[in-house]
């Protein structure tokens, strides 16, 4: 017999007491590890309430399949209240990230064609490749300057710039110039604002922003300042393209970028376009850069694997004879490495949906409207889901193991990551260029763990050494 919702194990009766315990355990920064512990305590399904945040949590790929089958026509994630509150406060429109219902769907359908369709990849790849080449040139220069034929550093700032330059070149069809020695302080401020925005979001997931706003708390003020910085810079970039488009009318020969394409298409209002382009620009920095940093860290820890990847890239380069799209089809192990990074170090600790219909998971009845979360971090490290999960092994994604609802780093279905194609191409091209040019080594043995700052980030600087191959 199916057991009722009220019998799902877990701590969900006293949200405020749970919030207090969560806070004592430093849960704001340990969410992923606490989730793992909860699965160990309660089993593959548990119910939870922290403050006003109520959810049912699952871990099995088979249960994920049930969840996504019940997501309905208008899939809906957890409402990130600090983000919607900011927009309400400043009278800004929601973009595709925050919209729901028919408004979301109609915008998303149009954005899909311009941002995530395979057809657009042809346009993106040459732009992204150029940024990759410039990154490599920049590192060579840094190596020369040290006079030691190597460069040892925390690459995170360089990667933030690489990611912002990449996403901007695709969105605006032109370069910001972040791979140069002098960088626009405004761009640097934009990068810092994104990090601050993420960091200040996590405490406000559990405590209503309206309350924090009322008491004038620092976290809300910082959050507003961060979004203000993000919107100001994005507005300036957008305005710049908008003006140019009016100056040189007539159809351009070369691909003009996502923003100009959307403006010329004229299917979304300018306000809708601005809102979503701002989200794309902000969503395109920390996500890919941190995933690349973790990948370099893993490659430094696994030198033999690194050589294998280098060989794959060399062969792909030779076989594809200058055709980049062909080349990207011949690097399965590089793609496996990125999946492996997202398995062990996912950007998003969980995926969540308000289910559109009643479902049965682990023999419990779960009513429509419930927020159900799939613990991505926990699933990636579960020995029943992945054979020897502690091992970083890109080849597991080739054929040997089943992939059924296991590769979910970008989410699933029509509400999955809109930036996925950009992110994948950007990261693959980055690794190609790095592997062709440098050997990546680590210093001593330093075990880096992750901290939850809305997205998962390294808990300490990752120091790596790059040497010309
Ligand atoms: C949504 C992951 C890079 C823009 C998401 C979601 C995940 C995710 C898990 C939620 C999907 C779901 O609920 O099913 C990642 C990862 C990235 C990455 C792992 C890189 C390694 C990017 C980039 C951009 C971007 C580069 C922008 C160019 C977005 C947007 C959404 C989203 C706009 C909301 C889509 C919607 O609600 O319709 N991402 N992302 N992401 N991401 Fe990404
Ligand atoms: C964080 O419990 C943990 O892609 C919460 O590019 C549930 C939750 C809800 C929404 C998720 C968030 C988590 C992690 C970061 C995500 C976000 C949706 C989109 C966002 C996954 C899992 C991200 C990083 C976007 C951000 C774009 C934005 C800054 C403009």
Per residue in 322-351, pLDDT (tens digit) is: 999 999 999 999 999 999 999 999 999 999
Phi, then psi, of 351 in degrees rounded to 5: -115, 145
Greatest extent of the chain over all pairs of C-alpha atoms, in Å: 72
| Rg (the chain; Cα; Å) | 22
Ligand 2 proximity of 279 Cβ (cutoff 6 Å): yes
User: For residue 417, how far is its CA from the centre of ligand 1 (angstroms)?
Assistant: 3
Best probe residue, ligand 1, of 84, 352, 419, 421 (max atoms within 8 Å of C-beta): 419
Which pair of structure tokens corresponds to residue 21? 């315990």
Calpha distance 51→430 (Å, rounded): 41
Taking the centre of ligand 1 as the mean of its atom positions, its distance from the CA of residue 243, in whole angstroms, is 29
Residue 163 CA to ligand 1 center (angstroms) comes to 14
Helix (H) or strand (E) holding 106: helix 101-115
Q: Which of 107, 73, 61 minimizes the C-alpha distance to 353?
A: 73
Residue 219 pLDDT more than 90?
yes
Ligand nearest to the CA of 294: 1
- Residue 373, ligand 1, Cβ within 6 A: no
- How much is the average pLDDT of 132-142? 97
Confidence of residue 250 (pLDDT cuts 50, 70, 90): low
Give 58's pLDDT tier (boundaries 50, 70, 90): very high
- Ligand 1 pocket, 280 CB below 6 A? yes
Q: 61: pLDDT confidence band, cut at 50, 70 and 90?
A: very high
Q: What's the whole-number mean pLDDT along residues 223-248? A: 94
- Atom of ligand 1 minimally distant from the CA of 426: 26
Arithmetic mean of pLDDT, 365-375? 98
Extract the tokens encoding 413.
């279905």
* CB distance 59 to ligand 2 below 6 Å: no
- Per-residue pLDDT at 71: 98
Tens-place pLDDT, residues 257-305: 999 999 999 999 999 999 999 999 999 999 999 999 999 999 999 999 9
Atom of ligand 1 nearest to the CA of 279: 33
Q: How remote is the CA of residue 332 from the centroid of ligand 2, in Å?
A: 27
Mutate to test the pocket of ligand 1, among 74, 283, 430, 456 (most ligand atoms within 8 A of CB): 283
Q: Give the number of other CB atoms < 10 A from CB of residue 239.
A: 11
pLDDT in tens, 63-121: 999 999 999 999 999 999 999 999 999 999 999 999 999 999 999 999 999 999 999 99
Instruction: Tell me which residue has tokens 């990948």.
Output: 295
Q: Give, using CA atoms, the residue closest to atom 15 of ligand 1.
A: 410
In the predicted model, is pLDDT for residue 37 greater than 80?
yes
Given this model, what pLDDT does residue 230 score? Answer: 98
**Which atom of ligand 1 is the closest one to the Cα of 280?**
27
349 Cα to the center of ligand 2, angstroms: 9
- Reported as a pLDDT band with limits 50, 70 and 90, residue 401 is confident
pLDDT tens per residue across span 300-313: 999 999 999 999 99
User: Residue 138 corresponds to which tokens in the numbers above?
Assistant: 């920049």
282 lines ligand 2 (CB under 6 A): yes
* Mean pLDDT of the chain, nearest integer: 96
Give the number of whichever ligand sits closest to the CA of residue 120: 1
417 Cα–ligand 2 center, Å: 10
Closest CA to 384 of 399, 372, 363, 402: 402
Q: DSSP readout, 215-279?
A: TT-HHHHHHHHHHHHHHHHHHHHHHHHHHHHHHS-S--SS---HHHHHHHHT-S-HHHHHHHHHH
- Whose C-alpha lies nearest to ligand 1, atom 36? 97
Give rounded-to-5 percent helix, strand, coil for the chain: 55, 10, 30
- Flag whether pLDDT at 202 surpasses 80: yes
Residues 60/61/65/68 CA torsion (nearest 10 deg) = 80
Q: Is the pLDDT of residue 444 over 90?
A: no
- Which atom of ligand 1 is the closest one to the Cα of 351? 13
- How would DSSP label each residue in 286-326? HHHHHHHHHHHHHHHH-HHHHHHHHHHHHHHHHHHTT-HHH
Whose CA is closest to 110, among 258, 9, 315? 258
CA distance 414 to 186: 34
Pocket test for ligand 2, best of 377, 455, 456, 457 (most atoms within 8 A of CB): 455
Distances (CA, A) of 63 to 94, 233, 263, 381, 438: 31, 42, 41, 16, 42
**What's the CA gap between 128 and 166, in Å, rounded?**
6
Q: Is 194 in the pocket of ligand 1 (CB under 6 A)?
A: no
417 Cβ inside 6 Å of ligand 1: yes
Q: Which atom of ligand 2 is nearest to the CA of 454?
A: 1
Backbone angles phi, psi at 147, to 5 degrees: 70, 15
Determine how many CB atoms are found less than 10 A away from the CB of residue 125: 20
- Per mean pLDDT, which range of 32-41, 245-254, 352-361 is the poorest? 245-254
Mutation pick for ligand 2 pocket among 80, 108, 288 (CB with most ligand atoms within 8 Å) = 80
Contact call for residues 87 and 211 (beta carbons, < 8 A): no
Integer Cα distance of 128 and 426 in angstroms: 6
Neighbours of 187 (CB within 10 A): 19
Token pair belonging to 9:
């194990």
Residue whose Cα lies nearest atom 21 of ligand 1: it is: 288
* Contact predicate 372/55, CB 8 Å: yes
Question: Looking at per-residue confidence, does 203 or 102 come out higher?
Answer: 102
Give the residue-averaged pLDDT of 399-427: 95
Q: What is the mean pLDDT of residues 348-366?
A: 98
369 exposure class (CB count in 10 Å sphere: 0-12, 13-18, 19+)? exposed
CA of 411 to the centre of ligand 1 (A): 8
Task: Specify the pairing of strand 463-468 against strand 151-154.
Answer: antiparallel
**CB of 78 closer than 6 A to ligand 2?**
yes
Classified as helix, coil or strand, 389 is coil
User: How far, in Å, CA of 7 to CA of 47, rounded?
Assistant: 9
pTM above 0.80, yes or no: yes
| C-alpha 467 to ligand 2 mean position (Å) | 35
Which pLDDT band, with edges at 50, 70 and 90, does 252 fall under? low
């Amino acid at each position: 017999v199916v057991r009722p919702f009220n019998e799902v194990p877990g701590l969900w009766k006293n949200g405020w007491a749970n919030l207090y315990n969560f806070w004592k355990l430093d849960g704001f920064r340990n969410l992923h590890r606490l989730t793992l512990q909860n699965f160990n305590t309660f089993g593959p399904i548990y119910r939870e309430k922290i403050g006003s945040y109520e959810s049912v949590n699952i871990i099995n790929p088979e249960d994920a399949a049930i969840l996504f089958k019940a997501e309905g026509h208008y899939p809906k994630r957890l409402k990130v209240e600090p983000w919607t509150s900011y927009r309400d406060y400043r009278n800004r429109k929601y973009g595709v990230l925050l919209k729901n219902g028919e408004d979301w769907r109609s915008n998303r359908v149009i954005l899909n064609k311009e941002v995530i369709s395979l057809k657009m990849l042809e346009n993106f790849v040459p732009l992204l490749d150029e940024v990759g080449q410039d990154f490599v040139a920049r590192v060579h220069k840094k190596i020369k300057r040290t006079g030691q034929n190597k460069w040892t550093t925390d690459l995170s700032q360089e990667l933030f710039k690489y990611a912002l330059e990449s996403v901007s070149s695709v969105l605006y069809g032109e370069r910001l110039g972040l791979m140069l020695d002098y960088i626009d302080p405004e761009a640097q401020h934009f990068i810092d604002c994104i990090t601050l925005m993420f960091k200040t979001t996590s405490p406000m997931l559990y405590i209503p922003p309206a309350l924090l706003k009322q008491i004038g708390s620092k976290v809300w003020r910082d959050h507003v300042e961060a979004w203000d910085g993000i919107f100001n810079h994005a507005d300036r970039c957008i305005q710049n393209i908008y003006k140019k488009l009016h100056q040189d009318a007539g159809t351009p020969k070369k691909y003009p970028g996502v923003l100009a394409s959307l403006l010329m298409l004229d299917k979304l209002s300018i306000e809708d376009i601005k809102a979503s382009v701002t989200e794309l620009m902000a969503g395109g920095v920390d996500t890919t850069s941190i995933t690349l940093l973790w990948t370099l860290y893993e490659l430094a820890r696994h030198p033999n694997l690194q050589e294998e990847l280098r060989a794959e890239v060399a062969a792909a380069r030779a076989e594809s004879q200058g055709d980049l799209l062909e080349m990207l089809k011949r690097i399965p192990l590089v793609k496996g490495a990125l999946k492996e990074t997202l398995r062990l170090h996912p950007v998003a600790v969980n995926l969540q949906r308000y289910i559109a219909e009643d479902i049965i998971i682990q023999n419990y009845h779960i009513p429509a409207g419930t927020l159900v979360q799939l613990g991505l971090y926990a699933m990636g490290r579960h020995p029943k889901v992945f054979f020897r999960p502690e091992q970083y092994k890109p080849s597991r994604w080739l054929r040997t193991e089943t992939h059924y609802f296991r590769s979910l780093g970008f989410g699933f279905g029509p509400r999955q990551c809109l930036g996925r194609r950009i992110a994948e191409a950007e990261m693959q091209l980055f690794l190609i260029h790095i592997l062709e040019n440098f050997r990546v080594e680590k210093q001593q043995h330093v075990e880096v763990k992750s901290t939850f700052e809305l997205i998962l980030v390294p808990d300490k600087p990752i120091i790596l050494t790059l040497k010309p191959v």
